[in-house]
Structure 1
Amino acid sequence: MPRGQKSKLRAREKRERARIETQGLQGSEASATKVSALVQFMSEMYKNKQPIMMAELQKVLHKKYKEESFEILKRAMDRMEVVFGLELKEINPNSNYYYFASKLNIAKGRSLTGGSGLPKSGLVMVLLGVIFMNGNRASEDEIWEFLNALGIYAGQMHSIFGEPRKFITKDLVMERFLVYRKVPKSDPPCNEFLWGPRAYAETTKMKVLQVLAKINNTDPSSFPVLYEEALRDEEERAQARAVNDRAGVRSKGK
C-alpha cells in the first residue's frame, strides 16, 4: 500500500476508533452511572471470590433501567475486560452462576498486583493498544484522552490503580512495560510513551489489537493498517523463534 494512502487510512481509523470508543465506554450520563455501579459490584464479587448470578446483576440495575439493561450490562463487562483483563464465564452450562477469569498472559509484577485484589494487566494492554494505534508512540494527551473515557483521571485517586499518573509514569516504567521519555526537539517540551522491553517480550501487537477491536465491538481486520502491521509482527516473531530453535538444535548436537 502506498505510503500516502496508508497514512490517510491510519488517520481515518484513528478518528473512527476515538469516536466509537468514547460512545461505547461512556454512553448517557444516567447509564454511565449504572455501568460504574455494576463494575463496582462485580469487582467486589471478584475480590471476595464469590460466584455471580445474573439475577443479582438485574437487581443492581433496578426496574427503571430494564429497557437499557442489556446495553448497560455489556458496557460493564467490557469495562471489566478492558481495565482488569477479566471476562465473565459460566461455571457450568445452564447453571446461571458466573465467575470472572483472567484472559491476559502478561506476567504479574509489583505494579500489577496489590492490596485491591484486582489485576491491573487489562489497563496495561489498553495503554499498549493506544500506543500501537498512534504509530507506536503516544503523547501524554493521547493517553489521557483515552483514560478519561474509562473514568481514570490524572491526580484523582483510583481504588485499583492508586494515583494513575504515578502508576503509568513510574510503576509501569519501572516494571519495563512502558518507556516514558521527552520528545526530542519538541517545542513546547512534551513527553511520549512507547512499548517497553517487557511488553515486547510478554505480548504481541495482534493481542493488543484484539483488545482494541473488543472495545469497538468489531474484529482486528476492521483496522487494515494496524492488522497488516500486527501480521508482520507475528511473522517476524515466528521467524525469530525458528532461528532460535535451529540454533538450539545445533548446540545440542555438538
Structure 2
Amino acid sequence: LPSAMAASPWSLSEDSSSSPDEEGPGTWGEPEVAQPLLQAALHRKAADLVVFLLLKYRTQQPTSQAEMLEVVGNDYQDAFPVIFGQASACMRLAFGVDVKEVDPSDHSYVLVTVLGLTCGGMPSGEQGMPKTGLLVVLLGIILLEGDSAPEEEVWEKLGVYPGKEHVIYGEPRELLTNVWVQEGYLEYRQVPGSDPARYEFLWGPRAYAETSKLQVLEYMMQVNPGQQPSSLALSEKAVSDEEEGA
C-alpha cells in the first residue's frame, strides 16, 4: 500500500521529545516558519493517535473522544478534528480499519475492519499490525486486471516482495499464498497452459461473500485518487455485472 503509506502520518512518527511543538502550536514566531512546523507537529500527533488506535483495535476495546484528546494533549485540543481526520485516514488506508462513531452523545468509537470483512486483519494469535488494507488493495488489483492478476504484477503493484520483510505486512508470500488462501479470501493457481509455470491470484469465495466489487473499487479510489476516471468506468461495469448476476 505504498501510496497510502506515503500520504499517512505514520512515516512521520519520529520521537517527538526534541520536537519544536513543546510550547504548543500558538507560540511559534514568524508565520512563514510556524506553518510548516505546525503541519509537522500535527502529523506527529496524528501518528501518536494511530499508535493508540492500533492498540485499541488489537485489544478489541472501544475508545472515546475524551481518551483520544488525552493522547493528543491540551495544547492541541483545537486542532483535534484535523488530527483525528489524519489518523482515521491512515487507519483506513494503511491498515484497513475503520474508526466508527457509535454514540454521538458521548463521542464513543469502535474499531472495525473495512468493507464488512471478518478476517480481522491478523492471523490468529498474531500481535503484529492489521493487514486488511493490503488485502483490500490486492482484491482491487485483481479486479483492475480483469478478475485474475498475474503474480508478478501483484508484487510490483503492491510494492511488497517475496522474501523481503515489510514493516507492516511481514513476509508477504506466506500471507498472500497461504494465510489468505486458507481463509478463503484469495485463490492462488497456476495460469492454465503456462510452461514454465506461472501463477495468478483471483478472488476467493469468502471475498465474494463478504464484500462487493463496487465497495472494493471505491476503496481503491480513496487509496489512489489519480486513478478515478478508469476506476469509475470499471466500477460502473462492476455494478452492472453484479446486478446481472443478482
Question: Which residue is equivalent to 1:247?
Answer: none
Counterpart contact for 2:97–2:133, Cα < 8 Å? yes
Distance verdict in 2 for CA 1:135–1:44, change over 3 Å: same
Question: Which residue is equivalent to 2:238?
Answer: 230
Question: Which residue is equivalent to 2:146?
Answer: 135
Question: Which residue is equivalent to 2:186?
Answer: 178
Deviation at 1:44, TM superposition (A): 0.8
Find out whether 1:51 has 2:63 as its counterpart.
yes
Distance verdict in 2 for CA 1:47–1:205, change over 3 Å: same
SS in 2 for 1:223: helix
Distance verdict in 2 for CA 1:73–1:199, change over 3 Å: same
Question: Which residue is equivalent to 2:50?
Answer: 39
Quick check: 161-170 or 185-194, which moved more?
185-194
Specify every segment of 5 or more residues in structure 1 that has no aligned partner in the other structure, as ranges. Answer: 1-20, 239-254
Please tell me the residue identity of whatever aligns with 2:158: L
CA–CA separation in structure 2 for the residues paired with 1:177 and 1:165 = 15
SS in 1 for 2:184: coil
Counterpart contact for 1:82–1:126, Cα < 8 Å? no
Please tell me the residue identity of whatever aligns with 1:51: T
Find out whether 1:155 has 2:167 as its counterpart.
no
Deviation at 1:86, TM superposition (A): 2.3
Distance verdict in 2 for CA 1:99–1:213, change over 3 Å: same
CA–CA separation in structure 1 for the residues paired with 2:120 and 2:113 = 15
Find out whether 1:168 has 2:176 as its counterpart.
yes
1:1-254 map, 5 Å:
22-27=2-7, 32-33=12-13, 34=44, 38-48=49-59, 49-53=61-65, 54-59=68-73, 70=82, 74-93=85-104, 95-108=106-119, 112-116=123-127, 120-148=131-159, 154-156=163-165, 162-184=170-192, 190-216=198-224, 223-238=231-246
Deviation at 1:79, TM superposition (A): 3.3
The alignment of Structure 1 onto Structure 2 pairs a total of residues equal to 211
Structure ranking higher in helix proportion: 1
Deviations 1:166-207 (A, max 9, x none): 011111112232122333565875432111233223322112
TM-score by length of 2: 0.63
Distance verdict in 2 for CA 1:175–1:56, change over 3 Å: same
Counterpart contact for 2:186–2:207, Cα < 8 Å? yes
Distance verdict in 2 for CA 1:96–1:106, change over 3 Å: closer
Deviation at 1:52, TM superposition (A): 4.3
Please tell me the residue identity of whatever aligns with 1:43: L
Deviation at 1:42, TM superposition (A): 1.5
SS in 2 for 1:226: helix
Counterpart contact for 1:110–1:175, Cα < 8 Å? no
CA–CA separation in structure 2 for the residues paired with 1:126 and 1:217 = 13
Please tell me the residue identity of whatever aligns with 1:26: A
Deviation at 1:45, TM superposition (A): 2.4
Deviation at 1:228, TM superposition (A): 2.4
Deviation at 1:88, TM superposition (A): 1.5
Distance verdict in 2 for CA 1:219–1:142, change over 3 Å: closer
Question: Which residue is equivalent to 1:4?
Answer: none
